[in-house]
Amino acid sequence: MARSALLNVMVQAAFKAGKSLARDFGEVQNLQVSLKGPSDYVSQADRKAERSIREDLLKARPTYGFLGEEGEEIKGTDGAHRWIVDPLDGTTNFLHGLPHFAISMALERQGEIVAAVVFNPATDELYTAERGGGAFLNDRRLRVGARKVLSDAVVGTGTPHLGRGNHGKYLIELRHVMGEVAGIRRFGSASLDLAYVAAGRYDGFWERDLAAWDIAAGVLLVREAGGWVTDIDGGSKPVEDGSIICGNEYIAKALREVIHRPVPTK
């Protein structure tokens, strides 16, 4: 596959930060047995990865803005472009020695995502997309799954946890969905969840209470793989809304209908 110069910059920044995270991940697994635990070490790894990515991206395009999870937003003088980065999506997995985490990067141009990279250093899976150019896993072109009915579908989700989200509302949605699908999965990394939809591993996905860096890259991956992406209520800007439903045309629509199904009253 041919990559633009900007996408190549993103890929190289992801590989560089990924090597560092892979080394730190090995150390975290060793720290599991310590009394203090690995939490402080992980937060340092997270910040170190973001610094590395920020330096590489802004070196290539110093006038662009930068929004990352770990630091304050940098307003670019360009005004039209912004990098959106999560240096370690799946921090809890990383913390517990689970090899399911990713670096997520997106380039936004005048409010639209035009390039995306999601890289899992533990598996060496590199997902890339450019607007109008398709989505790829390493060098293989991606297409969303072809299943058309929820009863055949495996869907991913993100579950609220301690101190996050509306637990009651989510449990209602989960109850509705679990009675309609072949399976539900919760892997704990939104960027990889969306990459899995793009790759046809999941047939659909939904989640609320997300930040821009959680899903900006994944939104483009799914769209460039032929998928439908909306916010929970069917709007066209999930990155701004902070909620998402996606899949192919049939699964995304059916999933949205089930999630919004009225709660039966006694």
- Residues annotated within the binding site are 69, 86, 88-89, 214
Q: Is 79 exposed, middle or buried (0-12, 13-18, 19+ CB in 10 A)?
A: exposed
DSSP 8-state secondary structure symbol assigned to residue 261: P
- Which residues partner with 111 through β-bridges? none
Is residue 66 classed as helix, strand or coil in its secondary structure? strand
Known binding-site residues for Mg(2+) equal 69, 86, 88-89, 214
Strands 204-207 and 154-157, sheet pairing: parallel
Please give the DSSP secondary-structure letter assigned to residue 137. Answer: E
First to last CA, the chain: 57
243-260 residues labelled b (16+ CB within 10 A) or e (exposed): bbbbbbebbbbbbbebbe
User: Helix, strand, or coil here: 180?
Assistant: coil
